[in-house]
Amino acid sequence: MSGAAWALVALLGAVVLSLTSRVNVGIVAVALAWLAGVFGAGLGTEAVLGGFPGSLFVTLLGVTLLFAAAEANGTLAALATRVVTLARGDARLLPWLLFAGAALLSSLGPGAVPTVALVAPLAMAAGMRAGVSPFLTALMVCTGANAGNLSPVSAVGVVANGVMTKAGMGGHATRLWLANAAAHALVAACAYVLLRLRATDAGVADVRTDAPTDAAPLGRTGWLTLCVIVAWVAGLLAWRWPLGPSACAAAALLIAARLGDEAATLRRVPWSAIVMVCGVSMLVALLEKTGGLPLFAALLARLATPATLDGTIAFVTGAISAWSSTSGVVIPAFLPTASALVGQTGGGDPLAVSLSIAVGSHLVDVSPLSTLGALCIATLAEPTAQRTLFRQLLTWGLSMIVVGALLCQLAAGWVARL
């Protein structure tokens, strides 16, 4: 086989392992990149290692480190509590406040997983007290967090926009963020209409209520932490500071000023996710180096025509994301193929394909097979209630594979032309 074919086999192997194994696919991807690059493509070890995304690593480290510090000192938890208490027990208002609060918090930088981890325990307890079903509460929290997950300053948004820029489609960070947010808002609205009046399947005792639902004071540490984060965001917007190094500087300032505990902060950094994203990105870089990217695009293009490309790629990435990692596998592996897919199928818009990949893969992440859904289920103490919510979220998440495909087929091209 050619070097391109070896690289493609390695990438497909990593995707399959991400679906079937609990091993961190980033570690597997680095090993496969070395094997395919050195023994398959005949490249030197240094050439293979040259594909490691150093800039991406620093960016992910900086952003996650900064918000890990804010989580460790209680600032994010205090903000999350305030979001929940704004509804004051109103069952009509609470779901939308949960959606908006999770979207805002996720957009500021932590991303979907840390946001759900912070908001879900408070939201599920408040939802039960207000008579909102755990199913609707979980959907609003997860879709809200995912709505902000592609913000230009969030970790996943950084990955997606970096890949698109490298592929020659830079400058669409805001469009990508808002398109994903709009899709999740539409799905959340449907969930609200369908489920708001449904009686809860679990009693109050089925939800852990040890999480506080009264807003705790931010205090000096919280306010100073917020000031540092606001100054960092202002620097990004006004002076175009580099995202990763500036976030590292902000995190270092918090730790040096004793506003955050270094050990606690480092424990909260999602090292597993960083390894996953960087490892798969390294394997994709090998695919580009050996010319395997056109082969991958040709394989995907066989599933679609120019007229159905947007919906088809949303369906494929949604199906993979339901069992694999959106940020660690789908985004770095599939976004680079957008332009090649258009060329292989003979028509389409690379930006519309990119939007379809991003939206299709994110909509399914409420599934309990994903971290977001699992975090919501973990807030329920009663096994029967857990099984009920598991089935509900699984059914909804898998249905989003089809919903995402239809939505992208109908709207992705129109959004790309705006």
**b/e string for 180-204 if b means 16 or more Cβ within 10 A?**
bbebbbebbeebbeebeeeebebee
- Rounded to whole angstroms, the Cα distance separating 177 from 206 reads 36
Residue with tokens 């939308």: 96
Segment 171-175 mean pLDDT: 92
Query: Can you give the pLDDT at residue 84?
Result: 65
- pLDDT confidence band for 87 (50 / 70 / 90): low
> Is residue 253 pLDDT above 50, yes or no?
yes
Q: 3-state SS string over 395-416? A: HHHHHHHHHHHHHHHHHHHHHH
Task: Give the pLDDT score at 203.
Answer: 43
Tens digits of residue pLDDT in 312-348:
999 999 988 877 778 888 898 899 989 989 988 888 8
Over residues 342-370, mean pLDDT? 91
Comparing 122-126, 209-213, 245-249, 350-354, the range with the smallest average pLDDT is 209-213
**pLDDT at 398 exceeding the cut of 80:** yes
User: At residue 239, what is the residue type?
Assistant: W
Among residues 242, 244, 227, 275, the alpha carbon closest in space to that of 70 is found at: 227
As a three-state string, the secondary structure of 323-388 is CCCHHHHHHHHHHHHHHHHHHHHCCCCHHHHHHHHHHHHHHHHHCCCCHHHHHHHCCECCHHHHHH
Name the residue with higher pLDDT: 310 or 19.
Answer: 310
Residue 325: C-alpha distances to residues 18, 237, 273 (Å): 8, 30, 9
Compute the mean pLDDT over every residue in the chain, rounded to the nearest whole number: 86
Q: What are phi and psi of 207, to 5 degrees?
A: -110, 135
Tens digit of each residue's pLDDT (9 = 90 or more) over 144-162: 999 999 999 888 898 899 9
Percent of the chain with pLDDT over 90: 44
pTM of the predicted structure, to 2 decimals = 0.81
Q: Which residue has the higher pLDDT, 33 or 382?
A: 33
pLDDT (tens digit per residue) in 88-97: 657 788 899 9
Structural contact between residues 108 and 153, judged by C-beta atoms closer than 8 angstroms: yes
What's the confidence (pLDDT) of residue 375?
82
> Which of 155, 153, 152 has the alpha carbon at shortest distance from 326?
155
Name the band, by pLDDT with cuts 50, 70 and 90, for residue 192.
Answer: very high
DSSP 255-271: HHTTSS-HHHHHHHS-H
In sequence order, the 6+-apart residues with CB closer than 8 A to the CB of 199 are 133
